[in-house]
Amino acid sequence: MKKQFAVLGLGRFGGSLVEEFANLNVDVLAIDRDQEVINKFANLATYVVAANAIDETNLKGLGIRNVDHAIISFGDDIEASILATMLLKDMGVKKVWVKAVNAYHQKVLEKVGADRVIHPERDMARRLAHHVVSEKIIDYIELSKDYSIVEIVASRKLHNKTLFDLDIRAKYGCNIIGFQRKNGEMVISPTAHEVVEEGDMLIVVGHNKDLNRFEDEGV
């Protein structure tokens, strides 16, 4: 059965989500209190509704409890996002992800039941900072406070060597979980005998300090 999604709040972040869901051919219920905003997404979302998303009667009438995954994006309206989170969880929505504006907002959202708290601006800033500071790192994804995944370009130092020869895990404490060849070919869960070539995009997971050491010394 196809999963159903809902996006509450169609600002820059919420609106971009709806557009991407449309590209992925995903069923999505888009809710915003502004009719003009709703009109912009009438041809993108499966269902578009101008409604107050912190009104329990409205949400029940829209059948929100049947949604598998809801994403709340109310900009800087902290109170509204907290109330909406409480309502959706009380109604039994399985997954509720919420955009937060700061650390305090995140703590409150977690206490009222948010399954995941999103900081799009902060996360994008971190990814951009890692990309700008390092000539080797192409992308950076934070998994937790201590662990991350990075995409890093293989240098001539690694050229024509197998993963067994490089022994990254033993030397640096991190793992290459895949890589992309220069011709676009993806290698997922590579074996120890897979050969790395200069220019390959390595996907590496590990503790931040180990990743930094690998970047400084290994690549």
pLDDT in tens, the chain (219 residues): 678 899 999 998 999 999 999 988 889 999 999 999 999 999 888 899 999 988 899 899 999 999 999 999 997 889 999 999 999 999 999 999 999 988 899 999 999 999 999 887 777 776 666 666 666 677 778 787 788 898 898 988 899 999 999 999 999 999 999 999 988 899 888 999 999 999 999 999 999 899 888 888 867
Structural domains of the chain, ranges and CATH numbers in brackets? 4-118 (3.40.50.720), 123-218 (3.30.70.1450)
**Spatial distance between the Cα atoms of 200 and 182, rounded to a whole number of angstroms:** 6
The alpha-helical segments, DSSP class H, found in the chain are 12-23, 35-40, 56-61, 78-90, 103-111, 120-133, 163-166, 168-172, 208-213
Q: Which residue has the tokens 């101008």?
A: 50
Residue 110 CB neighbours (<10 A): 15
Q: Which residue has the tokens 């993108």?
A: 44
pTM: 0.68
Find the angle CA(84)-CA(127)-CA(13) to the nearest 5 degrees.
30
What's the one-letter identity of residue 180? Answer: Q
CA neighbor of 93 nearest in space, from 82, 106, 101, 84: 84
